[in-house]
Structure 1
Amino acid sequence: MTDHREKLIPSRRAFLAASAAVAATPVLGARAAHATGHGLHKQSPDRQLRALLREIDPNRIGAIVTRLAAFGTRHTLSAQDDPVRGIGAARDWIHEQLRTYAAASGGRMTVELQSFIQPVSPRIPTPTRITNVVATLRGDTDPGRVYVVTGHYDSRASDVLDATSDAPGADDDASGVAAIMELARVMATRHTEATIVFAAVAGEEQGLYGSDHLAQQFKDAGTDVQAMFSNDIVGTGDAHDGTAGDPRTVRLFVEGVPTAETAAEATVRKSVGGENDGPSRQLGRFVHDVAENPQTGMRVRVIWRRDRYLRGSDHISFLLRGYPAARLTEPRENFAHEHQNVRVENGVQYGDLVEFCDFRYIARVTRVNAAALWSLAQAPGTPKGVVIDTTQLTNETTLRWQRGTSADLAGYEVVWRETTAPDWTNVLAVGDVTTVTIDLSKDNVFFGVRAVDRDGHRSPVAAPLPAS
């Protein structure tokens, strides 16, 4: 009987070196016995994740979107001390709600107001206080490893400097804030290995100022942020523009060559064909793997771009600091009503209003986030220091990496694919080692390494760069 998997990568013999020989002889560069790798399968949600996904409530999400829109405007330059209208009232309400969720966490979730003064800039005419509302769920066993999810709670009218006109901002971006708040609510009562940060950021419409401050705080503290997601315009699968809606798809934008890489680093990555294997691309593959399933009810359409043309979201603040980051957004935007002041024509209201949002759609996007964040926080961290030995002319491949510190780390898997394939096609368990030599030419395929824990949770893949 012919193994159909051998058609993926033709070879003169069985493709891979079995991990057992390496594990038994933990010597750098040890040669393993021949074995055949097998195809990859999607990671199925574990029991705890399935229960978590069921708790995400579209009615609660709808109530959050409706309440945020009722503040009239949440423009960054609007009133900070009015109790019923403006960004200050919205800030205080979000803070109060997150504190309520944190009260159920047994002390593991803390909530803070992270404020700073933004100097004058093209969209900030006078020095302005900007405040992020940040809820942190501390991990139990690996708290230094951090995952961040954001939505921006500021809104805008057509004129980006108009701080007084109504700007309900239901889709952009009360929808994203509702998603992160509902995530905080359902996750507050659960234990995770790593730390998750849920942040409602401000100043996005004026220049990503809130997320820029948040990302810099992490950078200054040396925080190991291994993934960040921005939920921005996730209100509906129906663009309300006469086209067919797509209520079961969410777009995920991920960059290629990392924004923060130096020119020399980018040159090395491109020289080995690694444009599609940067950390954010691996994050996109991971989300597609763990979040596209019947439990979320969504198709994750991964788009290999940093963001849409002419605009950008808060994930860019994290990309600029070298953190893997991605942006979730609805499948088709309606540019006619986005950011528009509320107006009435023939008895019909137009603008970024609650009526344009589909709370069930936002709930499904929230489940995509939950599947990604839970799977990341329960798995070992992404392998670090992964290199491929290119110092020898050989038809074999030697990979090295640093051993992770996760308490329940079981070992590692090597994955590979054809250079023309968009995703990993084969995998081989290599055990709890930090070096493996595989009888497959590094010239012909792309390799990666991922960590696995004792419960079968897998990390995102780390692609190797040539050893220096």
Structure 2
Amino acid sequence: MSDRGGISGTSGISGTTRRTVLATAAGGGIGAALGGQGAAHAAEPDDAPAPGGRPPSRELRALLKEIDHERIEATVRKLASFGTRHTLSSQTGRKRGIGAARDWIRATLTEYAKASGGRMTVELQSYVQEPAERIPEPTRITNVVATLRGSEDPDRVHVVSGHYDSRCSDPMDAESDAPGADDDASGVAVIMELARVMAKRKPAATLVFAAVAGEEQGLYGAAHLAGRFKESGARVAAMFTNDIVGSSTADDGTRDPRTIRLFAEGVPTAETEEEAEVRRSVGGENDSPSRQLARFVRDVAENDATGMRVRVVYRRDRYLRGGDHIPFLERGFPAARFTEPAEDYAHQHQDVRVEDGKQYGDLPEFCDFPFIARVARVNAATLWSLAQAPAVPAEARIVTSALTNETELVWKRPPGGPRPVRYEVVWRETTSAGWTHAEDAGDALRHGVDLSKDNVFFGVRAVGPDGYRSPVAFPSPQR
């Protein structure tokens, strides 16, 4: 998506007509108007640039260049070297078990934090999980959390996670080797590399890099982290988990090294029935905060600097599976899951062994480290753009007090900083996946468009002084 939709206007009713937008749609111009975001992506060679997307700023390009696939590889291999990181494994061993991995992650993040001048802090978040289905006895669950405090809007929080526990074929086997390179040393390597690169910088809003435990036993670490945020009243504006992001090769041997999947739910998990009914009445099932985050990711992270395409999947997660974004969704926070384009189940969760001359197990040898680095760049582009942009406009409404063929939107300024310098009203056909048109609304809190609200979906976003745009706020009806 480019910075503008190719259609400009003032804070009042613009010169754009209903005939104009329909003609543009019929001619295929809507997808092209914002950089081709809605177009289908053909297969490309490994070294091909990514399509579409908003060009990154100079500061963001510099940040993305610092992400190092060799350092990521070293992190994955180090985590795999602990033998097993099973939640029920040793918490006191120095070379083997989840405790050794925990201590290494903490020490490494603490070293990275030195570059922050005190703005990044590292802590262990621990609690005792009582016996449950995959927890036979009281077990300490510990998250390793690095927090980079925002310089302008520290109360607005963006979380990125990977889980550092692992498992083999038997989820209760805490003794056998379970190197867990792809699931999920790859995700932990992403968040640690992001922490290293961003520690030297000053994001406007707060960024949290979390290596969580207990995922394979029941998403326990993530649930604890999300619960802590909920209890404290934190403004968690976005959460992304990176879970199984280590390989670009499917179980049939085909490769897709330029695509990362992003799972994003529709009707929010935590929405009340009354809220869900309002959403259904206006056709907003595809416009949850998590779906707006997914559109935002494609907008800021599909470009030549990341070299990646983001394949948004309109589901909360895969069949029979669940990730660490779910506890955040259950507590009402926008969240989504990054995962590789096609999982190789022949290696995932398999015991380490050699059979018929083939090696099995979740080993580093099956990871694609340049691919993981590109996934890290997608995350970095997303998190930095979120942190530098204003928050989402508050209380967005579409005026429905009269039957007209025009549309008027109203909203309030978002809390915190950076303060918006202007706003944009965006719209798309109801059958379009992404926002396709934008119109400048200036610094007003009300804007009219000469288009029928019955025929297209509208939204509003804030634009900061450096041109960073917030995710879109989807309006509810105001009578």
TM-score range, shorter chain: over 0.9
C-alpha separation in 2, matches of 1:324 and 1:407: 20
Give the 3-state SS of the residue equivalent to 1:276 in structure 2: coil
The CA distance in 1 between the partners of 2:341 and 2:413, in whole Å, is 39
Match of 1:300 among 299, 304, 310: 310
**How many residues of Structure 1 are paired with residues of Structure 2 in the alignment?**
444
Name the residue aligned to 1:403: 413
Q: 1:371-450, aligned counterparts within 5 Å?
A: 371-404=381-414, 405-450=416-461
C-alpha contact 2:82 2:95 (8 A) present in aligned 1:
yes
- Cα distance in 1, alignment partners of residues 231 and 124 from structure 2: 18
* 1:226-245 C-alpha deviation (Å, 9 max, x unpaired): 11100000001012x33311
Q: Which residue of 2 aligns with 1:9?
A: none
1:314-370 CA-partner distances (Å, limit 9, x unpaired):
011111111111100000101122111101124432111111101111001000000
* CA distance in 2: counterparts of 1:208 and 1:445, whole angstroms: 39
- Does the aligned pair in 2 maintain the 1:105–1:188 contact within 8 Å? yes
Deviation at 1:33, TM superposition (A): 5.2
What's 2:371 paired with? 361
Distance 1:32 1:285 in 2: 26
Q: Of residues 168, 171, 176 in structure 2, which corresponds to 1:165?
A: 176
CA deviations over 1:289-312 (Å, ceiling 9, x no partner): 110111111111111111100001
* CA-atom RMSD in angstroms: 1.6
Moved over 6 A (4+): none
The separation in 1 between residues aligned to 2:419 and 2:471, in whole angstroms, is 16
2:34 pairs, out of 17, 37, 40, with: 40
Match of 1:230 among 241, 246, 269: 241
Partner residue of 2:219?
208
Secondary structure at the counterpart of residue 34 of structure 1? coil
What pairs up with 1:327-366 in 2 under 5 angstroms?
Answer: 327-366=337-376
The residue aligned with 2:283 is 273
The partner residue of 1:461 within 464, 472, 475 is 472
Q: Is the 8 A contact 1:123 1:160 kept in 2?
A: yes
Matched ranges for 1:11-90 at <5 A: 18-19=9-10, 22=11, 32=13, 34-35=15-16, 39-41=33-35, 42-90=53-101
Q: Which residue among 112, 117, 133 is the counterpart of 2:128?
A: 117
* Matched residue, 1:95: 106
Aligned twin of 2:254: 244
Work out whether residues 112 and 133 of structure 1, in 8 Å CA contact, stay in contact via their aligned partners in 2.
Answer: yes
Secondary structure of the residue that 1:275 maps to in structure 2?
A: coil
**Could you give the per-residue CA deviations for residues 4-30 of structure 1, whole angstroms, max 9, x where no partner exists?**
x99xxxxxxxx98x42xx4xxxxxxxx
Offset at 1:65? Answer: 0.3
- The answer to whether the 8 Å contact 2:388/2:418 transfers is no
Q: CA deviation at 1:157?
A: 1.1
Partner of 1:26: none
Counterpart code for 2:270: A
Q: What are the superposed Cα offsets for residues 163-211 of structure 1, whole Å, 9 maximum, x if unpaired?
A: 1111000000000000000000000001110000000000000000000
Q: In the alignment, is the contact (CA less than 8 A) between 1:315 and 1:326 conserved in 2? A: yes
* Residue pair 1:256, 1:306 contacting (<8 A) in 2 also: yes
> Out of 128, 133, 137, which is 2:148 matched to?
137
Summarize the alignment of residues 279-290 of structure 1 with structure 2, pairs less than 5 Å apart.
Answer: 279-290=289-300
Please give the per-residue CA displacement for 1:231-263, whole angstroms capped at 9, x wherever unaligned: 000001012x33311111110000111111011
Aligned partners of 2:181, 2:478: CA distance in 1, in Å? 49
Q: Output the amino acid matched with 1:40.
A: L
Structure 2 unaligned residues grouped into runs of 5+ = 22-29, 36-52
Report if aligned partners of 1:172, 1:338 keep a CA contact under 8 Å in 2. Answer: yes
- Structure-1-length-normalised TM-score: 0.92
- Check whether the contact 1:403–1:433 (CA below 8 A) recurs between aligned residues: no
TM-score w.r.t. the length of structure 2 is: 0.90
The 1:272/1:347 distance shift into structure 2, 3 A limit, reads: same
Q: Which residue of 2 aligns with 1:11?
A: none
Shift of 1:35: 4.5
1:43 CA drift (Å): 2.0
> What is the DSSP-based 3-state SS (H/G/I as helix, E as strand, rest coil) of the residue aligned with 2:387?
helix
User: Contact conserved, 1:114 with 1:133, CA < 8 A, in 2?
Assistant: yes
Q: CA deviation at 1:393?
A: 1.4
SS in 2 for 1:250: strand
Q: Which moved more, 1:264-273 or 1:365-374?
A: 264-273
